Amino acid sequence: MTKQDFFSRTRFIMVGTSHPGNVGSAARAIKTMGFKELVLAAPQKENMLSHPEALALASGAVDILENAQVVESLEQALAPVTLSFALTARTRDMGPPVVDIRQAAEEAHQHLLSTPYAQIAIILGPERIGLDNAQISHCHRICHIPANPEYSSLNVAQALQLAAWELRYAFMKEQEAVEGENRLLEGQASKQKHYASQDKVEALLTHWEQALIHIDFLNPAHPKKLMPRMRYWFNRSQLTQEEVDMMRGVCTQILKR
């Protein structure tokens, strides 16, 4: 694995964005830090990537806009991702584990280092309200930027720039040690973990919910917060594909009885 491999397995997801200028600024922020992959999930305006304001503020990073993806939902944007970080300034009563941006960058580095199948994502919400609890429930970590507590609100493109810098710093430091560890990992390729992508985990959750209803553990008329808690548990556990397959086999047997 090389440094460039880490950069190519990192995507930045903007959810429900409404300002073309922020999209252009985000493209510039990504490119200056060596990243390439930008995904817009359910943007509030059409043709956001080709909007004159986006093109103007991209300022030399138009290629990022040209290659960016637009999808209908956060779930679609997260489909191939194995470790995701939801950037938010608000505290939550319930949700994934909380890390600061530097811890997130270090964890992302180690995750990408552990297997060539891993892919990470940084998720940013709409400019005015940020990510809601339902969107955060699909992520593995909540991530904070430790800004001034009296005024911690960052523009979405500014937050993305800081996240991209922290990731770049984590990916590039102590490169000789990393390369030595990579050679060791390459010699043990058969032992590497194959983390389940988010779409596989979501499919397991659907199957798991059906099984819980079948054994009367979950009442679909009064589900309360059971399935969101199950989602947090599965995401926190960082399931491998083998574990997902095993759990789905259990679900299949439950549903047969």
Is 218 found in the same domain as 160?
Answer: no
Is 226 found in the same domain as 133?
Answer: no
Is 226 found in the same domain as 136?
Answer: no
Is 132 found in the same domain as 56?
Answer: yes
Strand partners, 15: 41
Q: Is 188 part of a structural domain of the chain? A: no
Q: How far apart are CA 42 and CA 70, in angstroms?
A: 7
pLDDT digits (tens, 9 = 90+) for 21-53: 999 999 999 999 999 999 999 999 989 999 999
Which CATH number belongs to the domain containing residue 88 in this structure? 3.40.1280.10
Is 222 found in the same domain as 103?
Answer: no
Last residue of a domain, one of 177, 206, 223: 177
Is 119 found in the same domain as 83?
Answer: yes
Strand partners, 85: 122, 141
**Structural domain containing residue 77:** 10-177
Last residue of a domain, one of 177, 211, 226: 177
Is 18 found in the same domain as 132?
Answer: yes
Return the percent helix, strand and coil in the chain, to nearest 5: 55, 15, 35
Q: Is 150 part of a structural domain of the chain? A: yes
Q: Is 190 part of a structural domain of the chain? A: no
pLDDT digits (tens, 9 = 90+) for 198-252: 999 999 999 999 999 999 999 988 888 899 899 989 988 889 999 999 999 999 9
Is 141 found in the same domain as 42?
Answer: yes
| Helix axes 226-237 and 198-214, enclosed angle (nearest 10) | 140
Q: Is 155 part of a structural domain of the chain? A: yes
Tell me the pLDDT band of 87, cut-offs 50, 70 and 90.
very high
For position 105, what pLDDT does the model report? 96
Q: Is 187 part of a structural domain of the chain? A: no
Instruction: Spell out a b/e string for 208-226, using b for 16 or more CB atoms within 10 Å of the CB, else e.
Output: bbebbeeeeebeeeeeeee
Region of poorest pLDDT, from 55-64, 83-92, 119-128? 83-92
Q: How far apart are CA 255 and CA 171, in angstroms?
A: 45
Q: Is 246 part of a structural domain of the chain? A: yes
Last residue of a domain, one of 177, 209, 243: 177
Domains: count for the chain: 2
Q: Is 1 part of a structural domain of the chain? A: no
For position 38, what pLDDT does the model report? 98
pLDDT digits (tens, 9 = 90+) for 97-131: 999 999 999 999 999 998 888 999 999 999 888 89
* E-state strands within the chain: 10-15, 37-41, 69-71, 83-87, 98-100, 120-124, 141-144
pLDDT digits (tens, 9 = 90+) for 152-206: 778 899 999 999 999 999 998 755 455 556 555 555 554 567 899 999 999 999 9
Is 159 found in the same domain as 205?
Answer: no
Is 247 found in the same domain as 138?
Answer: no
Is 145 found in the same domain as 211?
Answer: no
Tell me the pLDDT band of 132, cut-offs 50, 70 and 90.
very high
For position 176, what pLDDT does the model report? 47
Which CATH number belongs to the domain containing residue 248 in this structure? 1.10.8
Q: Is 56 part of a structural domain of the chain? A: yes
Residue 221 neighbours by CB under 8 Å, 6+ apart: none
Look at residue 217 and give its three-state secondary structure: coil
Is 151 found in the same domain as 57?
Answer: yes
